[in-house]
Structure 1
């Protein structure tokens, strides 16, 4: 629903914007929509893609495609609805339009990030520092997960994600997902940064011996494969090999199960459990075409 601002509200917003332009403070903004705008450059009419932003204080701004990223995207449409860090660059007093730049905010954050890493490398405290990153994507050709940390493009391998053997990492990660990471390797001169989410998570194998002495433990079936077998994620996040008695009904992915720990090989990080029951009953398989008739 569109609404019209009063002259007083417009004046207040311009004052807020002017203060942010002066301080170059980095602030979060939501990409509300993406569109095109025709501009006159050198006597020629050109269409430019524009991201329309809204800051947390209700302030609105625009970010042209060339100020959105160091990278060139075919379109900014995929960023609609995402939260971006921006700095406000200037205000057009004639139109009351406030311009913002994601790219400049990234440059500021990247400079601060490199300074922090440089000091950590010198002090040999790299793994003492934790950062917040955003999953940007996955390249199956290189087997790398790309993570954006403080305006900097970083990468990790599936083994850096958590303590489990992730066979289908593409099914686990989600673009735009916010995660905590530590930098495990960096080459400041080449701008190469390997990060790890696993290093921010407690190793569940440290608790496996305790589970061995329990009568039963709870878990959820994550994989049922005709070659690799059954895999079950225990309550502590550990994924282990599962078995079932011959007379028991076969599990389905997503089933909550009660298990008994049978074998533990802590040195090789392997364990085996046996399913002893389905405490919530077997999951009902839906008729894939049935949704057409659901009320």
Structure 2
């Protein structure tokens, strides 16, 4: 490695700590401080060659700067690592170059260790019959609108989620709800070892709003918000517990607009088929004005 790199450590205690972490293959956290290109001296079949590589500069505890080459950042190929600047990553110390006092770290190898542990844990919990009792934290890593698959990274493992496993309520446009980098709680539904696929569910970590619908039926009136109005499908109202139900209205009540807060009476509940109907009886906060596209002419 060229001498253009800032040394990772300056004191023996720092080196001793790094050596211990390296020896024990401990997974530690670091912050991606910056990303840039530098020449690295790489050992090849023809000896050492200088190759220009993209490098993530990672700040570790104790004032130590470590370096992660792009090929050690992820098993996936990224056009650039710039988007990871400022993020917190889990790494292992991959190599300590004593001559130039440089610490090389690997996010990819840390992910491999975490994945092995995660899969072993899934197998163990499956055998015990307690897999559905454990909740994990995951990070949304992407969404494919063609397949409607949501991708979630859990313990260094790329998992997938089907749209119906995101929420108890049907989400009309997942792209408006899902954010890359979003932290969510998930449960593992199944693991396919042959295809190396882990399916997870966010919905299973959230209380089922239908468990409370019977209590609402006993109330004289309940509050809700109009979540959809369609000439074909009708009116939809979201109740306080997040449940979206079919809305009806008497002829004497004005037509609702999306976003209107309404008072309703629960008319019917079909718990088995997960359907309910409410009747809109009023607008306690008044009605939202529908903005005319030509209003700006009179402003």
The higher radius of gyration belongs to 2
Out of 185-194 and 227-236, give the one that drifted further. 227-236
1:134 aligns with 2:135: no
Residue among 151, 168, 175 paired with 2:173: 168
| In 2: Cα distance, 1:47 partner to 1:248 partner | 70
Residue among 140, 144, 151 paired with 2:149: 144
User: Which whole-Å deviations, capped at 9, do the CAs of 1:204-244 have from their partners, x for residues lacking one?
Assistant: 10110101111232333433444334333222121222345
| In 2: Cα distance, 1:265 partner to 1:101 partner | 53
Q: Any stretches of 5+ residues in structure 2 without a counterpart?
A: 1-5, 294-299
- Pairing of 1:2-151 with structure 2 (within 5 A): 13-14=14-15, 16-41=17-42, 45-55=50-60, 59-151=64-156
Q: Any stretches of 5+ residues in structure 1 without a counterpart?
A: 289-295
Q: TM-score, normalised by structure 2?
A: 0.81
Q: TM-score, normalised by structure 1?
A: 0.82
User: Which whole-Å deviations, capped at 9, do the CAs of 1:46-84 have from their partners, x for residues lacking one?
Assistant: 331122223466543221111111111222223233332
Give the aligned length.
284
**1:114–1:188 Cα contact (<8 Å) kept:** no
Deviation at residue 10 of structure 1 after TM alignment: 6.2
Out of 245-254 and 151-160, give the one that drifted further. 245-254
Deviation at residue 94 of structure 1 after TM alignment: 4.9
CA RMSD between the two structures: 3.2
| In 2: Cα distance, 1:221 partner to 1:55 partner | 49
Deviation at residue 122 of structure 1 after TM alignment: 2.1
Residue among 229, 239, 245 paired with 1:234: 239
| In 2: Cα distance, 1:194 partner to 1:218 partner | 36
Out of 264-273 and 21-30, give the one that drifted further. 21-30
